Chain A
Amino acid sequence: DAGVTQSPTHLIKTRGQQVTLRCSPKSGHDTVSWYQQALGQGPQFIFQYYEEEERQRGNFPDRFSGHQFPNYSSELNVNALLLGDSALYLCASSLGAGGLSYEQYFGPGTRLTVT
């Protein structure tokens, strides 16, 4: 039973560039949530995708956007990168949408460094 996978593992980008992160959910799951975790802090909710639509969104600017594909995998896009976007980006999947209505399982994360 494959768990949640994310790619790439690490990424270095320059201010102003754009980045795309990818996530494949745990087998059988249909909902993907994205989180940003700055160093020394807890994860911050970015948004959740279900049925290829954004269902909930945290307090993140429009520079953060996403997409969910018919096979339930998801992408997180960040435009016009800022130094403050440097963080660990975590993807979580669940069987069903709505916050923690269903238990979430996390991937290993993508470490993004913006220079």
Chain B
Amino acid sequence: GIQVEQSPPDLILQEGANSTLRCNFSDSVNNLQWFHQNPWGQLINLFYIPSGTKQNGRLSATTVATERYSLLYISSSQTTDSGVYFCAVENSGGYQKVTFGTGTKLQVIP
């Protein structure tokens, strides 16, 4: 099956710093979604981004499907950004199961 690797696995940032999270996938995908899982376990939608670039406030994401990766940018990080960030993909070829990445655990310190 498709492999979805995220990097870095862990990240500690000072409040106000910027960061880039990466999601690599081993096969072509139809769709991709980014989530933030807060400390209570709730998965929060960030971006639905099969291709191209989207921005929402301090966050933006870019997916280059032909090169099999997606990036999530966090600018001016805040302590509330702490948690685990997951990308999830649906691989192409009529096999429409969803595979989540390995996750990036982010801690933003004051």
Q: Are A100 and B42 in touch, CB under 8 angstroms?
A: no
Q: Are B98 and A45 in touch, CB under 8 angstroms?
A: yes
Q: Are B98 and A33 in touch, CB under 8 angstroms?
A: yes
Question: Is A106 an interface residue when CB atoms closer than 8 A count as contact?
Answer: yes
CB proximity to B under 8 Å, residues A6-38: 33, 35, 37
Q: Are A100 and B32 in touch, CB under 8 angstroms?
A: yes
Interface of B with A (CB < 8 Å)? 30-33, 35, 40-45, 48, 86, 88-90, 96-103
Question: CB within 8 A of B97: which of A42, A99, A104, A111?
Answer: A99
**Complex interface: chain B residues within 8 A of A108 (CB):** 40-42
- Majority-rule SS of B interface residues: strand
Minimum C-beta distance from A28 to chain B (A)? 15
Please encode chain A, from 104 to 115, with 1 for each CB lying within 8 Å of some chain B CB and 0 for all others: 111011010000
Smallest CB gap from B35: residue in A: A106
Q: Are B30 and A42 in touch, CB under 8 angstroms?
A: no
Q: Are B33 and A103 in touch, CB under 8 angstroms?
A: yes
Question: CB within 8 A of B103: which of A42, A45, A92, A98?
Answer: A42
A90 to B33, CA, bound (A): 16
Smallest CB gap from A57: residue in B: B97
Question: Is A65 an interface residue when CB atoms closer than 8 A count as contact?
Answer: no
Q: Are B30 and A44 in touch, CB under 8 angstroms?
A: no
A90 to B86, CA, bound (A): 14
**Complex interface: chain A residues within 8 A of B99 (CB):** 45
